[in-house]
Amino acid sequence: MPALIDWVLHLDAHLGVLAASHGTLVYAVLFAVIFIETGVVILPFLPGDSLLFVAGAMAAQGSFSWFVLAPLLIAAAIAGDAMNYAAGALMQRKMADGHRPRFIKQEYLTRTEDFFDRHGRKTIVLARFVPVVRTFAPFVAALGHMPFPSFLAYNAVGGAAWVAALLAAGYAFGNLPWVGEHLTLVMLGIVALSILPGVIGWLKERRNKDTPAKTIGDKA
The pLDDT score that the predictor gives to residue 51 is 85
Average pLDDT, the chain: 77
Question: Is the pLDDT score of 194 beyond 90?
Answer: no
The pLDDT score that the predictor gives to residue 157 is 96
The one-character DSSP state at 127 is G
Model confidence over 74-128: pLDDT tens digits? 999 999 999 999 988 888 777 666 666 665 666 666 767 777 777 778 888 988 8
Question: Is the pLDDT score of 218 beyond 50?
Answer: no
The pLDDT score that the predictor gives to residue 149 is 93
In 60-91, which positions are buried (b, 16+ CB within 10 angstroms) versus exposed (e)? beebbeeeebbebbbbbbbbbbbbbbebbbeb
- φ, ψ of residue 215 to 5 degrees: the values are -90, 175
Question: Is the pLDDT score of 37 beyond 80?
Answer: yes
Mean pLDDT value across residues 30-35: 91
Furthest CA-CA distance within the chain? 72
Mean pLDDT value across residues 42-63: 79
Question: Is the pLDDT score of 187 beyond 70?
Answer: no
The pLDDT score that the predictor gives to residue 167 is 94
More confident residue, 74 or 16: 74
More confident residue, 205 or 147: 147
Q: How confident is the model at residue 214 (pLDDT cuts 50, 70, 90)?
A: very low
More confident residue, 188 or 131: 131
Nearest partner of 90 among 152, 36, 31, 148, judged by Cα: 148
Measured over the CA atoms of residue 48, residue 52, residue 58 and residue 63, the dihedral's sign is: positive
